[in-house]
Structure 1
Amino acid sequence: MSNLATLPKNGNLAKPNRVSNFPSFSTWFDDFSLNDFPALFSSNFNTGMSLPKVNIKEVADAFVVEMAVPGLKKSDFNINLENNALSISAELRENNEEKNDDYTRKEFGYSSFKRTFTLPETVNDSKINATYNEGILTVHLPKKEEAKQKPPRAIKIS
């Protein structure tokens, strides 16, 4: 970052024209920290589960999506392809009940996530497959034949 100009907190280079001793609206708003409400502004409102981390890598003949989602079963996932968009989602519902002579205790929970990725035109969507092993969901997106990397070859000069 350059130290050529020092900006005031409101980001304005012009000298503030203050009539009173009250801070300008932009200065007041800059002082208001969203860090005071981390759960409110950084969580995913639609889910009780944080979004899983994803690695996407390109290899010679495919794209590979790896998603870290431990503790789930294969049957918990929904993987759909629609209009060149791949969506991966999961939904978990828990309902535990414990009955005793003196009390009944019920606990329930719900969590879900959904990640959507726009696929490049080079993906052969009829050959997409997925595996789930040791907490990692892997989606293999093979490339169309014309998009695959071809090995280098020498060209002779005539």
Structure 2
Amino acid sequence: MNLVKFNSDKRNNGALMPGFNDVFDSIFNDTFFNDRMTARVPAANISESDLHYHIELAAPGLKKEDFKLSLDRNVLSVNVEQQKEQSQGQKSYNKREFSYGSWVRSFTLPDSANVEQIDATYNDGILMIDIAKREEAKAIRRQIEIK
């Protein structure tokens, strides 16, 4: 037996069969399908300071050895390929939201980035990548005297 959710608050203006569209909405808006359609890549914060560009990726539960960073032309790619653990006495899950699979996140670097000076650290579930700026791109600040 399957339970199908209907949204009685919706108005089916002009529908030949009221409630018919609710069947499809309930199927495709169900968490079972949404969980599988959602991309499983970590969220990123990108910021800039006077001397560097900064990328932070939220990737908890990994080890620094799980990450592989590569640079192809001006595209920086962060790649994780993690195998599922096969253990005896596996649990039978009712719902499983932890995702331990493979993913790739790519970032196109600006021309002002110095690709020779890229540093990465992984601490407390956050992968932090610092990309130095070229000398000509660094912000020049000075006080200008008013005459």
TM-score, structure 2 normalization = 0.69
Alignment partner, residue 68 of structure 2: 78
Letter in 2 for 1:146: E
Letter in 2 for 1:138: M
Alignment partner, residue 81 of structure 2: 91
Matched, 1:118 2:108: yes
Structure 1 position 113, deviation (Å): 1.2
- Secondary structure of the residue aligned to 2:113 is coil
The count of aligned residue pairs is 123
Alignment partner, residue 6 of structure 1: none
- Secondary structure of the residue aligned to 2:45 is strand
Among all aligned residue pairs of Structure 1 and Structure 2, give the percentage whose two residues are the same amino acid: 36
Alignment partner, residue 56 of structure 1: 46
Write the distance in 2 (CA, Å) between the matches of 1:60 and 1:139. Answer: 15
Alignment partner, residue 35 of structure 2: 39
Q: Assess, with a 3 A threshold, how the Cα gap between structure 1 residues 96 and 40 changes in structure 2: closer, same or farther.
A: closer
Write the distance in 2 (CA, Å) between the matches of 1:110 and 1:68. Answer: 14
Structure 1 position 95, deviation (Å): 3.0
Greater Rg by CA: 1
Structure 1 position 96, deviation (Å): 3.0
For residue 130 of structure 1, the aligned residue among 110, 120, 129 is 120
Choose between structure 1 and 2: higher strand proportion.
1
Alignment partner, residue 8 of structure 2: none
Q: Contact between 1:68 and 1:136, CA under 8 Å: does it hold in 2?
A: yes
Q: Contact between 1:95 and 1:106, CA under 8 Å: does it hold in 2?
A: no
Residues 1-57 of structure 1: CA distance to partner in whole angstroms, max 9, x if unpaired? xxxxxxxx9xxxxxxxxxxx859xxxx98x95442442343x23xxxxx21111000
Q: Gaps spanning 5+ residues in structure 2: where?
A: 1-11, 92-98
Matched, 1:142 2:132: yes
Residues 85-139 of structure 1: CA distance to partner in whole angstroms, max 9, x if unpaired? 01111111133333xxxxxx468x9611110011100000001110111111100
Write the distance in 2 (CA, Å) between the matches of 1:40 and 1:112. Answer: 14
Letter in 1 for 2:71: L
TM-score, structure 1 normalization = 0.65
Q: Assess, with a 3 A threshold, how the Cα gap between structure 1 residues 110 and 132 changes in structure 2: closer, same or farther.
A: closer
